[in-house]
Structure 1
């Protein structure tokens, strides 16, 4: 009996040793393979490079040819990424009189949406055949007039239908102020014939909600610009699109209106507008000042308007959810003649707090009764001068953006999860020299800009991508200021959301953004567009993330590591496009890669 007991003890000791000496579980993280630096223009065929010149704003991927298409300004480039360590330019083209807004690839066709700079009402979507390796060109198939500022396009997986977010921002037409009606467009190609066939375009407006706006506002939506007899349907600005799992419903973010539209694609009808509501920062934390000389993340008596840019529908188990990247945005028409100089944002210190308000009560209870609106507290924070106003005072302060990712249940449209202050906390812990930094000016030293965006919208959580990888939903969250990607995963349900890692393409913080750009030591600044490439479509058989940095003018190929690689397909060949000599010439000089 005693011998048996001793064996039990011995086995227990071995087990303990095994547990304590086992290798740590590898977290899901990103490793850069290569970065493409995009030229913003050409002079006599020579590419011109400049930091923060909108050289790259969106990208798309053709899995069959392993080609990445990139737009920026009026330029469209294509790169062969068959060798993801050494991308090669294979096409450049300029489209006159337009600004390119979005690019998508589906089936055998490239779709590009564009702002019409000659006639703002006539924004377009152009459809091209995929890159022709013989002619080394793109062949135009369709030009579709869709409306003012088609900011995003999204095709269904069968490529038969394309949904268009017609943002319709306000502008001056040379004689008067114009705020066009926002709309959702639906392009339909003939069944089984695809993008080469005849098409039908249907434009869905928001006029029916002009009688419902008061109820929508009461539930947390916004009607921002009401001057010039503007209607709610004119104020609405569709921005970003995502589909339900069966692709019968499109969810379209209305960023400045703090809401999203539910669109029946099959029956071509806008079913409803769902307000996002507000975030209470007495129950969360933020850094609200750029003049307190420190990272100071704490609770404040402020409401946050979520105002998400990117949204993404996901499925976890048998439930569907909407992920939102709560960037924040404002309407500022001060430079548009005829608008009356409208600007909805102001410093909190410029407002009078109502004595009977929850803000005043919080200040009294927490020792800020005379100092709440000092510059190192809430005084510098940019807030709305519209929301919360009662007479000449304000009973609440509303800041722009949630500085977070939120998760909404698509069966009830209720908020079920918000990352709270996690983004700012993670930056403070892991990248303090980039905390709420501003990456826009090339002559700024990276670390000198830390905390300079705290008074505005903080980190500006902007881009979002999600994919089922192995047994988990992996989420990539683009942080605009100055340029990071937070990786999260969900295993069983949304309450299991787990932070995995934080990536940045800014390699040093003691040099200027411009110098780092010249050294090709910076990428992913303002990662607005994130695209997941699954292993079966990837040129190296590994899961990749395509990251377009709008400010850095870059496209980076990032490998997703630390995931379950069961079932990953390794292609038999490198799969990249070749001429007969196996090389693709770049007549204008090969771009620089970092």
Structure 2
């Protein structure tokens, strides 16, 4: 039995002479995947759907507190859908802002006074793009258009609201006939939005990259069209903090620091790799098992989303290490390990170091390329051919794959202070063993292990009380990972929640009942604090690009009295475990009270009391 949430359109916006908005019904699954420590829980309370499968009809989300509206990017329709979430259990479509025929909208952001900005990619993505300004609380009228770079992939307002910052990715044409420069546009926006009108006209400045980057920043491409450094760099996502913009350069495995006021690039920092000789990863989709093991490979982090926060007086950056490759008709860096030595690809070097690799069938040490190439070993893993060759370019001395399959916390210089390593795959192994590394378009087992695994893509940060949390969307298998990142060097897993019914196979949209699968392909996330949310509760809004759903979750810390410490639980557990948890918590609380009373007579009991108090929060 599934809960269908219906949203009835009560108001329609008239945009460019058309009335938009249709009724919608979407699924909150009856038995979502839910595992965690009990310190914080997610509960799906409302959802809206477009009825479009894998059409990118619900991607990036942004919340306007003043109007209690949620703006949702409908990318391929070239539009921003406006949802009324004054009742978050029943999101209601009330209008659409159309960017223009043949366009793609990639991102949207909202200032505290309701001024909204969205990026617009033209039909030819290598042409310069635009941003549009509009009133989130208004009738969808576009107030101003401004030219930016190609293509504009993400936009966000800075903390002051004086500026909007745009990542112009600079992706090449499919055949590499055109390769625009990657850049960052800084828009000086009007100070006020009054009665749906701008007080002044916005202006644009552009931060461009020079021809020098530090060692470790990936600059590569087709040999006959190497391009400039600026053409190689591809800005993806932006976080702002204290007058700086921190921009992920995904394919380049780096973060750029931009001074916002002057629109200048101050630094580009490489992000390094994860060594799979010491960090486990499941690398095969053809071994019929979960095998998180060590291999002679390094993984580029290649982050997509980024967030910024302050801890211990310093700024830290949080990255979702999705992984991405250049895979175009005119040039592709991708290959599978088993293909090395074939089709003009160089082989493994004769002295390649196989140390740490163990055959997943026999349990014996791997000592040859032939053995490593087996499909149940490393043969199926996708790697890059752009790096790892010897000086002559005739053999691979090292292997590099795409994506860290987790998240990292770095300082503003790019120094890593935390990495989740194999934690995501370990958690998924226990949470959904029958659907481990499933894809978003179909229900499968182990289907993505050869290719970036769960693909953490979207990310948002939220503060509840004195704790800061990272909410990370897993694009492929779906669901949200939540970590307590209050201490940057010691981030802790809190919960994983997935509003997906794996018993329903979407079959790439061919199953007429695919919508009953729930949320597929989380793309954009935004945290809505209780102080500004429509129901006075902390909320998380998530846009899902494959299922076309936008879902709202209540985020409840245990100090609200709705969860208890001590165990990892799943939604399929019966009531006995929860009852035992409650009894255990009650006994601990009673014992804590007794200890507190005894400390006055026996001070040596104070450490025990303090430890128990910390456990109970």
- For residues 374 and 50 of structure 1, what CA distance do their matches in structure 2 show? 39
Partner of residue 388, structure 1: 388
Does the 8 Å contact 1:55/1:553 carry over to 2?
yes
Judged with a 3 Å threshold, the aligned counterparts in structure 2 of structure 1 residues 325 and 519 are, in CA distance, closer, same or farther, namely closer
Does the 8 Å contact 2:506/2:515 carry over to 1?
no
The TM-score normalised by the length of structure 1 is 0.81
- For residues 204 and 428 of structure 2, what CA distance do their matches in structure 1 show? 45
Judged with a 3 Å threshold, the aligned counterparts in structure 2 of structure 1 residues 202 and 565 are, in CA distance, closer, same or farther, namely farther
Judged with a 3 Å threshold, the aligned counterparts in structure 2 of structure 1 residues 192 and 99 are, in CA distance, closer, same or farther, namely closer
Judged with a 3 Å threshold, the aligned counterparts in structure 2 of structure 1 residues 219 and 76 are, in CA distance, closer, same or farther, namely closer
Deviation at 1:482, TM superposition (A): 2.0
- For residues 546 and 510 of structure 1, what CA distance do their matches in structure 2 show? 23
Partner of residue 86, structure 2: 82
Partner of residue 532, structure 2: 537
Does the 8 Å contact 1:435/1:450 carry over to 2?
yes
Partner of residue 39, structure 2: 27
Partner of residue 332, structure 2: 343
Q: Does 1:149 align with 2:147?
A: no
- For residues 304 and 266 of structure 1, what CA distance do their matches in structure 2 show? 35
Alignment of 1:146-185 (within 5 A): 146-171=148-173, 177-185=177-185
Deviation at 1:409, TM superposition (A): 1.9
Alignment of 1:79-228 (within 5 A): 79-94=83-98, 95-106=100-111, 107-117=113-123, 120-132=126-138, 137-171=139-173, 177-190=177-190, 195-206=198-209, 208=210, 210=211, 212-213=212-213, 216=214, 218-228=215-225
Deviation at 1:159, TM superposition (A): 2.2
Which ranges in structure 1 are unaligned for 5 or more consecutive residues?
Answer: 1-23, 39-48, 567-594
Does the 8 Å contact 2:170/2:234 carry over to 1?
yes
Does the 8 Å contact 2:326/2:333 carry over to 1?
yes
Partner of residue 234, structure 1: 231
Deviation at 1:407, TM superposition (A): 1.1
Query: Match of 1:396, SS?
Result: coil
Judged with a 3 Å threshold, the aligned counterparts in structure 2 of structure 1 residues 534 and 69 are, in CA distance, closer, same or farther, namely same
Deviation at 1:104, TM superposition (A): 1.1
Judged with a 3 Å threshold, the aligned counterparts in structure 2 of structure 1 residues 557 and 383 are, in CA distance, closer, same or farther, namely same
Query: Match of 1:256, SS?
Result: coil
Partner of residue 474, structure 2: 479
Does the 8 Å contact 1:470/1:563 carry over to 2?
no
Does the 8 Å contact 1:479/1:526 carry over to 2?
yes
Does the 8 Å contact 1:309/1:326 carry over to 2?
yes
Deviation at 1:516, TM superposition (A): 7.9
Q: Compare 79-88 and 493-502 and name the one that shifted more.
A: 493-502
- For residues 54 and 189 of structure 1, what CA distance do their matches in structure 2 show? 28
Does the 8 Å contact 2:256/2:268 carry over to 1?
yes
Judged with a 3 Å threshold, the aligned counterparts in structure 2 of structure 1 residues 380 and 55 are, in CA distance, closer, same or farther, namely same
Does the 8 Å contact 2:299/2:402 carry over to 1?
yes
Deviation at 1:481, TM superposition (A): 1.3
Does the 8 Å contact 2:453/2:476 carry over to 1?
yes
The TM-score normalised by the length of structure 2 is 0.78
Deviation at 1:139, TM superposition (A): 2.0
How large is the RMSD of aligned CA atoms in angstroms?
2.4
Partner of residue 423, structure 2: 422
Q: Deviations over 1:364-390 (max 9, x none)?
A: 996111311211000110001111012
Q: Deviations over 1:530-568 (max 9, x none)?
A: 1000001111100000011111111000000125459xx
Query: Match of 1:177, SS?
Result: coil
Deviation at 1:332, TM superposition (A): 1.1
Partner of residue 285, structure 1: 280
Deviation at 1:297, TM superposition (A): 0.6
Does the 8 Å contact 1:516/1:522 carry over to 2?
no
- Corresponding residue pairs, total: 505
Deviation at 1:490, TM superposition (A): 3.0
Query: Match of 1:313, SS?
Result: strand
Q: Deviations over 1:223-258 (max 9, x none)?
A: 3445324111101110000012x2x11000000001
Q: Deviations over 1:471-526 (max 9, x none)?
A: 111111111112111111134x2233211111101123354454888374333322
Q: Does 1:506 align with 2:500?
A: yes
- For residues 30 and 165 of structure 1, what CA distance do their matches in structure 2 show? 31
- For residues 237 and 426 of structure 1, what CA distance do their matches in structure 2 show? 32
Which ranges in structure 2 are unaligned for 5 or more consecutive residues?
Answer: 1-35, 341-346, 562-617
Q: Deviations over 1:425-449 (max 9, x none)?
A: 1001011233111122xxx4x2xx1
Partner of residue 494, structure 1: 488
The structure 2 residue matched to 1:354, chosen from 335, 338, 349, is 349
Q: Compare 73-82 and 350-359 and name the one that shifted more.
A: 350-359
Deviation at 1:456, TM superposition (A): 0.9
Does the 8 Å contact 2:42/2:554 carry over to 1?
yes
- For residues 479 and 193 of structure 2, what CA distance do their matches in structure 1 show? 41
Deviation at 1:90, TM superposition (A): 0.9
- For residues 55 and 125 of structure 1, what CA distance do their matches in structure 2 show? 19
Judged with a 3 Å threshold, the aligned counterparts in structure 2 of structure 1 residues 414 and 564 are, in CA distance, closer, same or farther, namely same
